[in-house]
Structure 1
Amino acid sequence: MDDIVIAGISGRLPESNNLEEFWENLINGVDMVTEDDRRWTPGLYGLPKRNGKLKDISHFDAAFFGVHPKQANTMDPQLRLMLEIAYESIVDGGLNPAALRGSKTGVYIGVSGSEAGEAFSRDPEELLGYSMTGCQRAMLANRLSYFFDFSGPSTAIDTACSSSLLALENAFHGIRQGHCDAALVGGVNLLLKPNTSVQFMKLGMLSPEGTCKSFDASGNGYCRSEAAVAVLLTKRSMAKRVYATVLNAGNNTDGYKEQGVTFPSGEMQQRLVRSLYQAANITPEQVEYVEAHGTGTKVGDPQEVNGIVSVFCDSRSEPLLIGSTKSNMGHPEPASGLSALAKVVLSLERGVWAPNLHYNSANADIPALSDGRVQVVDRPIPIRGGIVGINSFGFGGSNVHVILRPAEKSTDTAAPPRTLPRVLQACGRTEEAVKALLQKGKEHAADENFLSLLNEVSGAPTSSMPFRGYTLIGSQSDVSEVQQGQAAPRPIWYICSVGKYDHYL
């Protein structure tokens, strides 16, 4: 059976316009949770003053995505973001989105609500109808399938905080069972008005300081956050690049609990995780790192980590490494699973585990933190290459776990030097974008795989990418040119001549 791999990824995270910025913030220990009035006045209604916010949600290239301005103005910013990062994740995989048109590609999006939809439909006399197609949760998947012309399953999934990792689990099994050949998987969450935060605060779930102190003794709730992440999942035989292999994925639900519907069940989490590793024939000792749900709540952290310990730590010679990206950026709820995946993928690419923040003293209700069976990654730690697990749990009891195997590093350390210059092509919406791509190619002139990926995605139609450019890699002279192409295809001219003067043509 062909392996299923993570072949492309893109995202917007708090204080991070792209995954490069996200990694710099992670590895440098930047707290991406901030106090400012980008969404509402800090402290409004007694809310925590800090939360995680995207830098910019106001811009959208409607023409590129075939959206009429009237529709764009009443389209949920969550959908606008998903269109952008979905496109980017395909290109990141070295694939031209146009080449996938008509393919049996699935779309699975984790999303829990549309605060924009509620705002747009407040006054019935001002309704235009466009907010229905722009804000319905189904459209976060269906609009992507429509734009890319995908014919596979198209599903929006809501299990609260586990939504996006459940979307990945659904996509994994969809490919494995033949429902689709590849899949776009996404998760998105925006905090556009304070009402939802007020409700979580009334339920006692939020940290008064606005900090996820994962696994720490002072953990007293979680901090809400925004995120949008998209992942391209394909069979290995189709992939142009491989970030990691998905070995197994599954989900279950807590069922009835005397303590109430939002009380986590460590027993059911443990049962899920154990069954997945047994099915994949992976021993606990092979697992190097678990990216935990780790919200920093009094009840949730002990239930989760004590369950992890029961599965993985009976006969280990070295401590199991754990972490939670929520300590760095807050909890983006339905997008949290893919945000955690993004951190894991970036760490695997760089060969070092990004550190947790706000971990100072071990939670006394998690004995394994004190006796050394489990170690919180609170500083950059080199990766050994073992198996990785990712947890994601919904507050209604929906549990998801995914198992990843790191991509094998290429052994071709020294490719034979090129004797001839290589043409590098690029296309973009603007002249500046094309120049930036060509410059990036020059910076990575020795990376043949990267140059091949850039050339592969340079054939987008001029109607969507009107600027074209090229440069010569490995040339003594700085040969480079960028021009704006014709939006419509050039007409084909035929010249026919018969007679004694045809040699002049």
Structure 2
Amino acid sequence: VLETGWEVFGRAGYTRRQLDGSATGVYIGLFNLEHASTALAEVASIDTYTLTGTLHSAVAGRLSYWLGLTGPSVVVDTACSSSLVALHLACNALRRGECAMAVVGGASVLLSPAGYVLYSQTHGMSPSGRCRAFSGKADGMVRAEGCGAVLLKRLSLAQRDGDPILALITGSAVNQDGRSNGFAAPSGAAQQAVSRRLWRRRSSNPAPSTW
């Protein structure tokens, strides 16, 4: 996250001097516990750096600390939607003026076979070894690792500052399934409800939208 966050700022044309002391937020989606569980497996190996090296809060906090960013620094864990909820929170913070810009990211590393066993026990893994999102042939998930990040800024400020603009976020919404067909199962009704609420709030026609 530290390396990817720095790369995002560099690609946007920001120097470390410009960032130091800036009201820049950091919002990171993270729910994989394997880094911490692996580091804590051997008690005798715990040292001075283990605490700050395994806390989820330190993933965002370290980037804020290293670059001197003074905006909100938040780690979000909402399972599969973690980075999207982080994006939603960052957008709201920008609208409220809590930060001038925000880096939003997500990360996952697979360091232990235990994760595969856990998901296999819940019958969540795809027997075919393929992810088929939105397909009638979908038969489960496939685990993967990686790290990604984007830099967000209000459109008017990005245009004023001559920032490179790659995309525009016109709206976002969040909800929860509540009581549904299973604690870990997605609720189609809840997902439809949050989508409808977003479209009503934007007063837009969802027909032209694509995935």
**TM-score (norm: length of structure 1):** 0.40
Identity percentage of aligned residues: 36
Contact 2:28 2:74 in 1 (8 A): yes
* 1:279 alignment partner, one of 192, 196, 201: 201
Q: Secondary structure at the match of 2:98?
A: coil
Contact 2:38 2:112 in 1 (8 A): no
Contact 2:25 2:72 in 1 (8 A): yes
Q: In structure 2, what is the Cα distance between the partners aligned to 1:251 and 1:263?
A: 17
Q: Secondary structure at the match of 1:244?
A: coil
Q: In structure 2, what is the Cα distance between the partners aligned to 1:226 and 1:209?
A: 19
Q: In structure 2, what is the Cα distance between the partners aligned to 1:131 and 1:270?
A: 43
Q: In structure 1, what is the Cα distance between the partners aligned to 2:62 and 2:192?
A: 37
Per-residue CA deviations over 1:441-492 (Å, capped at 9, x if unaligned) read: xxxxxxxxxxxxxxxxxxxxxxxxxxxxxxxxxxxxxxxxxxxxxxxxxxxx
In angstroms, what is the RMSD of aligned CA positions?
Answer: 1.4
Is the strand fraction higher in 1 or 2? 1
Partner of 1:288: 209
Q: In structure 1, what is the Cα distance between the partners aligned to 2:209 and 2:76?
A: 30
Q: In structure 2, what is the Cα distance between the partners aligned to 1:129 and 1:227?
A: 27
Partner of 1:264: 186
Q: In structure 2, what is the Cα distance between the partners aligned to 1:128 and 1:275?
A: 49
Q: In structure 2, what is the Cα distance between the partners aligned to 1:125 and 1:226?
A: 28
Structure 1: give runs of 5+ residues left out of the alignment.
1-81, 291-505
- Following TM superposition, by how much is the alpha carbon of 1:271 offset from its aligned partner in structure 2, in angstroms? 1.0
Q: In structure 1, what is the Cα distance between the partners aligned to 2:9 and 2:117?
A: 37
* 1:241 alignment partner, one of 164, 172, 176: 164
Contact 1:114 1:136 in 2 (8 A): no
Structure 1: which amino acid aligns with 2:176? T
Per-residue CA deviations over 1:145-171 (Å, capped at 9, x if unaligned) read: 101101111110000000001000000
- Following TM superposition, by how much is the alpha carbon of 1:217 offset from its aligned partner in structure 2, in angstroms? 4.2
Structure 2: which amino acid aligns with 1:112? F
Structure 1: which amino acid aligns with 2:179? Y
How do 1:216-231 and structure 2 match up within 5 A?
A: 216-231=135-150
Structure 2: which amino acid aligns with 1:261? F
Q: In structure 1, what is the Cα distance between the partners aligned to 2:48 and 2:176?
A: 37
Q: Secondary structure at the match of 1:142?
A: helix
Q: In structure 1, what is the Cα distance between the partners aligned to 2:136 and 2:193?
A: 26
Partner of 1:168: 87
Contact 2:103 2:151 in 1 (8 A): yes
Question: Which has more radius of gyration?
Answer: 1
Structure 1: which amino acid aligns with 2:56? R
- Decide whether aligned partners of structure 1 residues 210 and 243 sit closer, same or farther in structure 2, where only a CA change above 3 A counts: same
Structure 2: which amino acid aligns with 1:243? L
Structure 2: give runs of 5+ residues left out of the alignment.
none
Q: Secondary structure at the match of 2:123?
A: coil
* 1:255 alignment partner, one of 178, 183, 204: 178
Per-residue CA deviations over 1:385-420 (Å, capped at 9, x if unaligned) read: xxxxxxxxxxxxxxxxxxxxxxxxxxxxxxxxxxxx
Per-residue CA deviations over 1:3-27 (Å, capped at 9, x if unaligned) read: xxxxxxxxxxxxxxxxxxxxxxxxx
Q: In structure 1, what is the Cα distance between the partners aligned to 2:182 and 2:135?
A: 24
Q: In structure 2, what is the Cα distance between the partners aligned to 1:178 and 1:215?
A: 36
Contact 2:32 2:109 in 1 (8 A): no
**TM-score (norm: length of structure 2):** 0.92
Is the helix fraction higher in 1 or 2? 2
Structure with the larger RCO, 1 or 2 (CA within 8 Å, 6+ apart): 2
* 1:101 alignment partner, one of 6, 20, 26: 20
Q: In structure 2, what is the Cα distance between the partners aligned to 1:215 and 1:125?
A: 46
How do 1:338-349 and structure 2 match up within 5 A?
A: none
